[in-house]
Structure formats: structure tokens, C-alpha cells
């Protein structure tokens, strides 16, 4: 049986939860139940469907970036830097809010994948409009055509600024983007040489962003200046079959040569292989064995090379027998965003309304952004152009966990279970308990709640410990049923309600600190 053969059986609840954890940032009992029992073709088609792009982030006065005053007089440099930092922080929090709200679709998770692939950082770019514009571009192309994507990201104002494309001119080429285009964005190390870097830089001369800190306009665009472009022929190495890109003059020279450069790179088998490996590591597992390389990576890369459409590759992977292999379920350490957002998703936490409850919305989104930053995953601010270290370095996901981040993960999960009134985070554990088939039975309660919470079963000794030492420490098990039924029969009694909720909350605090909860 080929690993990419279609998985034909209806999805179990565990498989549906696995798919949701990998494609989105987490799952709730309701979302798992909605997908369980359906075929992968139906479910994957639903999760990969088109969505409407969200409206732009707005400031507390309900103004978008294009409504806001801009300007960068030398005398106001410090104040302008402060304003940009505030606006960039607003975008980061706003995007994390979108991730939490986008519960049953791949688009925000896939946009995050591409932001970690085509890295530009808010710290270096420092213009919030550039950062938001790049988010729009990444989201637009997240499931589209990779050729078009590469061309557009090459001309993206944030990318031009981040990798010095604005400084790349005839006679004084800047090689930063020409190098990263090949090493990190398309074909990968070992598949080009220094001559190719130099000639790619020459192809890319003449582009620059327009509108950076512009006092006259809030519009951000890009332009090609023919006089800044190298019109000589560019001769590439044997890695590219000694391809020659003819030098051109005039306003169309930039687009024509860029298109030929991208086509030349995409013709190489190594390019599709490089991108598919990154997708596989992001969604499936870090280690790629010779078997996976031959039976998963290479066939998917062949499919990708047909027309460089992204969505069909994802569809085949998520519909495959291999994706639902029991050994892969729960095999990843959750990324910080999967932990931070997924924990709230499990408990059906809503994002405060950004218009009606702006103060809470800002506190809420900035809190989540701060937690992601503490845990080494700040959006739009990777530490290097390589992206977040656990997606490219040896040991991969294990790098998310150390003595500091493990303690911070536990502190975060404790905080949300206890509740944070100022952020309107008030986890109602009783609602989840009431959905259990027999919540008065502690065995059933623990079995069903943990089935939806974890990627795999806890051991019987772990479940016994949960009941006897965490849920009702020192009490016989029948006491739980007595206390639960007293609460149900008189739900207006605050003392009875709080007593039951406290016990369930204690159990959830323990559960969310288990090593098993860190796996997804």
C-alpha cells in the first residue's frame, strides 16, 4: 500500500482531532464531533475551502492605517518610532485574534507557515503598513500558485526593505535577497553557487518600495526604476544548465527578467522537493526517513511541479493513509501558538469585540501576543531570516521546550483555567463536564474529558490518579456523584457550584501541565 493512497474510512474522533490540530491551531469538542464520521475528502475539502479575508486592523479610535496620519520629520523621529512600534504590536495581536477566530479552516495556519518561510520582521521593517500589506499578500497566496507567490513576494515592500532590495542597483548590487531567494525561499542549499547569487542580484536591480514613512501619503506601493537596473546579460551556473537571462531596457525589464529568473529556479527538481519537505515538517513530522522521502516527498513534489499549485499538494497529503498513521498522532511538540491558541479553542474562548469592547480586546490580543513572544514564537519577528529555530535546526520541535519555557507554558495554562477577568477569559469547565454522557460518574468524566483533550489515551494508572488524588483527593469515588447531583439539582446554589467547579478546574490545571498536553 502506497503511503499517499487515499484514506477511505470515515474519520474517528481521534483522527478528526489530529487533523484539526495540524491544520488549525486546536480543536474543541464541538469541532471534533462535527467532523468525526465523515470522509477525509469531505473534511479536507471543507478545511481547505476559500474564506473571506478579514477587515483591516483598526486603532482604538476605529481608524484603519490608511486613515491615520503619517510623517517622519527628523525632529519627531522618536515619536514616530514609538507610533510604529504601537501599530506593529497592534497588528501582531490582531493576527493572533484572527487565528483564534478562524476555527475550522487552514488559512491562518498556512499564512503563518508562509510568514515563517518568506521571513520579514516588524523590528527591521518598522512600518506597520508594510507589515500589514505583507500579511495580506501571504494570505492571498497561501493556497494559490507558488510561481505567482514568489514573484509577488519579491516585489513586496516589506521584503524589499527587509532584505535590502531597495539598495540593489546597477553597479552596486546588493546580494541579500538574491541569496535568500535561492537558499531559503525556493531551491535550498547546495543547488546554486555564488555566481548564481551575483547574477540573481543583477536581475533584481531597480526595484524599490514607495511610501515608507511618507509625509504625503499613507499608500504603500512598489516601483521599478529602469535607470537603476542592470541591463547586461546574466549567465547562471550548471546548477541552472548555464541559463542566460537576457538583459533588457525599459519599464518592463524588471518584470520580464524576474519572471525568467523564477521560471529558471522552478524548472529544477530540487525546488519542489525543498518546498514540499518544509510543508511536511510543518504539518506532519520533523524527521524525514528514506522511506518518507521516496514515498511521500518525491510524489508530492512531482505533483507540485505540474503547475506549482499549493492546494493540491496539501489536499493529497491530508487525504493520505500516511497522514492518519497512528504513530504520527501526537508526535509533535505543540508550537507556542498551537499551545496558546489551542488551549483557548478547546474551551471555546471568544475574542472580545474590537469595537464594542475595545479596551478588553486590546488587553486580550496583546496578552496572547506576549505569551507567544515569551515562548519564543513572536509573530512577524523571527530571530533570523531562517525563521523560528524549531522548524529548521537539529532536534526540531524539541527546541520549543526547555526549563524556562516549560514553566511558562504551565503558568499560562494555570492562568486561563483560574480565569483572567480583565481579559474576559473565564473558562467554564462546568459546560464541558455537562456534555459528558454521565458526569456524575468520575470514571466516565475523566475518560471523556481526556479523550477530547489529548492526542492519545492516558494510562489507567494516570486516570486513577486523576480521580483519587486530583478530582476528589482522600474521598471515596461515590462522593463525586453525590456532590455533582446536588449541584445539578440546585444550580442556583453558588456554594455547590463553586465547590464542583473548583474540583474540575483543579483537574484541568493538572491535565494542562502534563507532558501529554504538550504533544499534538
In the chain, what's the furthest Cα-to-Cα distance? 86
Distance of alpha carbon 158 from alpha carbon 23, whole angstroms = 27
User: Could you tell me the CA-to-CA distances from 322 to 3, 20, 25, 304, 504 in Å, in that order?
Assistant: 5, 16, 21, 18, 37
Q: Are 165 and 177 in contact (CB under 8 A)?
A: yes
Mean pLDDT across 447-458: 95
pLDDT tier, 109 (very low <50, low <70, confident <90, very high otherwise): very high
Mean pLDDT across 109-138: 94
Per-chain mean pLDDT for the chain: 93
Distance of alpha carbon 179 from alpha carbon 163, whole angstroms = 10
Identify any residues that bridge with 207 across adjacent strands, giving them in sequence order: 224
Say what the pLDDT of residue 69 is: 47
SS3 state of residue 287: coil
Half-sphere exposure of 273 (CA within 13 A, CB side): 14
What tens digit of pLDDT does each residue of 79-100 get? 455 567 778 888 999 999 999 9
In the predicted structure, residue 77 carries a pLDDT above the cut 60: no
Helices of type H across 102-193: 107-117, 122-125, 128-141, 146-154, 157-162, 176-180
In the predicted structure, residue 124 carries a pLDDT above the cut 90: yes
Mean pLDDT across 441-446: 97
Say what the pLDDT of residue 469 is: 97
What tens digit of pLDDT does each residue of 284-300 get? 999 999 999 999 999 99
Distance of alpha carbon 38 from alpha carbon 396, whole angstroms = 33
In the predicted structure, residue 137 carries a pLDDT above the cut 80: yes
In the predicted structure, residue 235 carries a pLDDT above the cut 60: yes
Distance of alpha carbon 166 from alpha carbon 208, whole angstroms = 4
What are 219's three cell numbers? Answer: 499608500
pLDDT tier, 34 (very low <50, low <70, confident <90, very high otherwise): very high
In the predicted structure, residue 485 carries a pLDDT above the cut 50: yes
- Sign, CA torsion 196/198/203/209: positive
Say what the pLDDT of residue 499 is: 95
Q: Residue 169 carries which DSSP code? A: B
Say what the pLDDT of residue 389 is: 96
Q: Which of 66-70, 108-112, 130-134 has the least mean pLDDT?
A: 66-70
Total residues belonging to the chain:
520
Q: Are 364 and 424 in contact (CB under 8 A)?
A: yes
Helix axes 194-203, 253-266, angle to 10 degrees: 150
Distance of alpha carbon 382 from alpha carbon 120, whole angstroms = 8
How many Cβ atoms are within 10 Å of 491's Cβ, its own excluded? Answer: 12
Distance of alpha carbon 255 from alpha carbon 209, whole angstroms = 15
Mean pLDDT across 385-391: 96
What tens digit of pLDDT does each residue of 505-517 get? 999 999 999 999 9
Could you tell me the residue ranges of all domains in the chain? Answer: 145-267, 429-518
Write the CB contacts of 506 (distance below 8 Å, at least 6 apart in sequence).
Answer: 470, 471
Say what the pLDDT of residue 65 is: 62
Say what the pLDDT of residue 35 is: 95
Percent of the chain with pLDDT over 90: 88
Distance of alpha carbon 97 from alpha carbon 138, whole angstroms = 17
Mean pLDDT across 10-30: 95
Mean pLDDT across 53-82: 60
Amino acid at each position: 500500500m502506497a503511503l499517499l493512497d487515499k484514506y477511505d474510512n470515515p474519520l474517528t474522533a481521534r483522527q478528526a482531532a489530529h487533523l484539526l490540530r495540524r491544520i488549525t491551531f486546536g480543536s474543541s469538542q464541538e469541532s471534533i464531533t462535527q467532523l468525526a464520521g465523515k470522509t477525509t475528502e469531505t473534511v479536507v475539502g471543507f478545511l481547505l475551502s476559500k474564506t473571506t479575508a478579514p477587515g483591516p486592523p483598526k486603532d482604538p479610535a476605529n481608524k484603519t492605517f490608511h486613515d491615520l496620519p503619517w510623517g517622519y520629520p527628523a525632529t519627531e523621529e522618536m515619536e514616530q518610532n514609538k507610533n510604529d512600534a504601537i501599530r506593529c504590536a497592534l497588528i501582531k495581536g490582531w493576527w493572533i485574534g484572527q487565528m483564534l477566530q478562524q476555527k475550522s479552516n487552514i488559512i491562518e495556519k498556512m499564512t503563518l507557515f508562509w510568514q515563517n518561510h518568506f521571513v520579514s520582521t516588524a523590528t527591521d521593517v518598522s512600518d506597520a503598513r508594510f507589515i500589514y500589506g505583507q500579511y495580506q499578500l501571504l494570505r492571498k497566496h497561501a493556497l494559490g500558485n507558488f510561481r505567482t507567490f514568489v514573484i509577488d513576494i519579491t516585489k513586496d515592500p516589506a521584503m524589499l526593505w527587509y532584505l535590502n532590495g531597495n539598495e540593489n542597483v546597477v553597479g552596486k548590487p546588493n546580494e541579500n535577497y538574491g541569496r535568500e531567494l535561492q537558499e531559503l525561499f525556493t531551491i535550498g542549499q547546495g543547488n546554486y553557487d555564488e555566481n548564481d547569487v551575483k547574477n540573481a542580484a543583477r536581475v533584481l536591480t531597480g526595484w524599490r518600495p514607495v511610501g515608507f514613512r511618507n509625509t504625503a501619503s499613507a499608500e504603500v506601493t512598489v516601483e521599478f526604476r529602469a535607470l537603476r537596473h542592470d541591463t547586461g546579460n546574466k549567465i547562471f551556473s550548471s546548477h541552472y544548465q548555464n541559463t542566460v537571462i537576457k538583459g533588457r531596457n525599459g519599464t518592463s525589464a524588471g518584470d520580464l527578467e524576474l519572471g525568467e529568473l523564477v521560471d529558471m529556479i522552478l524548472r529544477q527538481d530540487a525546488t519542489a522537493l525543498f518546498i514540499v519537505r518544509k510543508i511536511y515538517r510543518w504539518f506532519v513530522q520533523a524527521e524525514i526517513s528514506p522511506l518518507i522521502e521516496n514515498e511521500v516527498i518525491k510524489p508530492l513534489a512531482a505533483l507540485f511541479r505540474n503547475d506549482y499549485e499549493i492546494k493540491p499538494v496539501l489536499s493529497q497529503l491530508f487525504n493520505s493513509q500516511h497522514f492518519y498513521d497512528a504513530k504520527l498522532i501526537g508526535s509533535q511538540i505543540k508550537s507556542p501558538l498551537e499551545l496558546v491558541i489551542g488551549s483557548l479553542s478547546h474551551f471555546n474562548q471568544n475574542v472580545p469585540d474590537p469595537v464594542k469592547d475595545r479596551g478588553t480586546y486590546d488587553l486580550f490580543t496583546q496578552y496572547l501576543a506576549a505569551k507567544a513572544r515569551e515562548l519564543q514564537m513572536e509573530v512577524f519577528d523571527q530571530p533570523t531570516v531562517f525563521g523560528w529555530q524549531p522548524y529548521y535546526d537539529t532536534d526540531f520541535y524539541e527546541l520549543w521546550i526547555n526549563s524556562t519555557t516549560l514553566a511558562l507554558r504551565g503558568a499560562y495554562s494555570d492562568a486561563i483555567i483560574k480565569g483572567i477577568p480583565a481579559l474576559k477569559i473565564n473558562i467554564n469547565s462546568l459546560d464541558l463536564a455537562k456534555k459528558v454522557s454521565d458526569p456524575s460518574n468520575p470514571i466516565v468524566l475523566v475518560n471523556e474529558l481526556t479523550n477530547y483533550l489529548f492526542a492519545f489515551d492516558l494510562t489507567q494508572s494516570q486516570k486513577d490518579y486523576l480521580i483519587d488524588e486530583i478530582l476528589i483527593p482522600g474521598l471515596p469515588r461515590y462522593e463525586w456523584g453525590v456532590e455533582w447531583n446536588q449541584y445539578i439539582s440546585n444550580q442556583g446554589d453558588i456554594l455547590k457550584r463553586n465547590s464542583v467547579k473548583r474540583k474540575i478546574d483543579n483537574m484541568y490545571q493538572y491535565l494542562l501541565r502534563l507532558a501529554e498536553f504538550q504533544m499534538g
